[in-house]
Amino acid sequence: MKLSNREENNIKSINIEHTRLIPSEVKKEVWKRDEGKCVLCGDNKNLHFDHDLPFSRGGTSLSANNIKLLCMKHNLQKSDKIG
Ligand SMILES: [Zn+2]
């Protein structure tokens, strides 16, 4: 029984580490913290959840600290400018 529990935990942590989807719990937290608006301009339309440190560079989707709300405009601007 202990073995199968451990296996289950391993599978869970692997799945979590390799997902770029933001869990709804984290989304809720970010939305609440940023008050449902873009952190840069305060727009409340066309919002996106943006990774501070990109997932491709090891950023996590599991912590609200790494995710913020951006409007579409600022989200696009960010991806145009690297660094
Ligand atoms: Zn904005």
What average pLDDT values come out for the chain (83 residues) when binned by 10 residues? 61 53 95 97 95 88 95 83 51
Number of domains in the chain: 1
The reported pLDDT for the residue numbered 79 is 61
The reported pLDDT for the residue numbered 19 is 62
Query: What's the CA-to-centroid distance between 74 and ligand 1, angstroms?
Result: 5
Look up the domain containing 27 and give its range: 2-80
Query: What's the CA-to-centroid distance between 23 and ligand 1, angstroms?
Result: 23
Q: What is the pTM of this model?
A: 0.69
Query: What's the CA-to-centroid distance between 58 and ligand 1, angstroms?
Result: 25
Return the CATH number at 52. 1.10.30
Q: Which one-letter amino acid corresponds to residue 13?
A: S
Query: What's the CA-to-centroid distance between 20 and ligand 1, angstroms?
Result: 22
Q: For residue 71, how many other CB atoms are within 10 A of its CB?
A: 21
Query: What's the CA-to-centroid distance between 42 and ligand 1, angstroms?
Result: 6
Does residue 64 contact residue 30 with C-beta atoms inside 8 Å? yes
Residues 79 and 60: their CA atoms lie apart, in Å, by: 18
